[in-house]
Amino acid sequence: MSDWILVVDDDTSNLRMASHILTGEGMRVSCLKSGAEALKFLEKNIPNLILMDIHMPEMDGFETLNRIKEKEELANIPTIFLTADDDSETETKGLNIGAMDFIKKPFVAEVLLIRVRHTLELIRLQNSLEHEVELKTQEVVAHQKRIARMSTQIIQALSGAVDAKDTYTNGHSTRVAEYSKEIARRLGLSEQEQDNIYIMGLLHDVGKIGVSDSIINKPAKLTDEEYEEIKNHPVLGARILKNISEFPGLVTGARWHHERYDGKGYPDGLEGEDIPAEARIIAVADAYDAMTSRRSYRDVLPQERVRSEIAEGRGTQFDPEYADIVLAMIDEDTEYRLREL
């Protein structure tokens, strides 16, 4: 398909000459005598290039080009000014409002053709590069999405492997992650922060991989030595996750989800707001799920009992603000759906 050139000039002889030169090279040419006619023409037509005189009555070339650039669908049409002016001020003004080039009048056929061809080739190259960049960007985005999906699937698989060690838990890590994300949402945290806390929740118990199955699944009361081994799982979890440099926050949930607001937790005995906020969120979500899940020695606790335990631990075991959010969630859950089913 041939290139379509719109020529705008109030001088009929200039229109006739430009049309003769360009059509002789196989180009399609439309000729108009004013800026107003050009704007009306462009309402329904998109040429490949505009050649436009600067000095026209009523609406000069500068005003016409400004009006063209205001319309998003027309803004990228390249424009070359036709002018008899020979001063830097005219060129500067034209270039500032978006002209691609200038052609002196009276124009020489060879110069006109060279300038037009070069401009059309430059635009084609730009469009090709933009298209290539868009394709590459789409490929990169798709690749990033695949990596993100794969990362999520790996995290979920690792979380599932941890839960599978415990005969008496079913989806514990996923529920803790979901409760933690909901607490974060109610706190007004961003979607990214909510997603980060969800991932931390999924992996908060990853250190249990290093704890003996016989201890995790022991139906009887643990000995002091066995309890100390269980208590070591936050340290093991932090050790496992510390080398994931792209998400250093993973260590936070794993190491400190058993810290207490009153400083009597483990492994580091942190107190109050010295405990990272994410760990304080996961701590109350973890305790809630522990009470609303089946264990070898008991069934799911009644909702009233769970509420009482959370309320009693407010300000001692749990951050009071986060405990209040969980209490509100319990009060809204009139059918007791937030539990292991």
- Give me the active site residues, please: 208
DSSP 104: E
What is the Cα–Cα distance from 63 to 69, expressed in whole angstroms? 10
DSSP one-letter string for 199-247: HHHHTTTGGGGGS-HHHHT--SPPPHHHHHHHHTHHHHHHHHHTT-TT-
Q: Is 256 exposed, middle or buried (0-12, 13-18, 19+ CB in 10 A)?
A: buried
Q: Which helix (H) or strand (E) holds 262?
A: none
Count CA within 13 A, CB hemisphere, residue 91.
8
Nearest CA to 48 among 78, 22, 19, 88?
78
Tokens 């959370």, located at residue: 310
Rg for the chain, CA atoms, rounded: 36
Nearest CA to 317 among 280, 292, 276, 277?
280
Residue pair 57/11 in contact by the 8 Å Cβ criterion: no
What is the Cα–Cα distance from 170 to 77, expressed in whole angstroms? 62
User: Beta 28-32 vs 49-53: how paired, if at all?
Assistant: unpaired
Nearest CA to 241 among 128, 134, 325, 162?
162
**Number of CB atoms found within 10 A of residue 84's CB:** 12
Residue pair 80/100 in contact by the 8 Å Cβ criterion: yes
Residue pair 163/171 in contact by the 8 Å Cβ criterion: yes
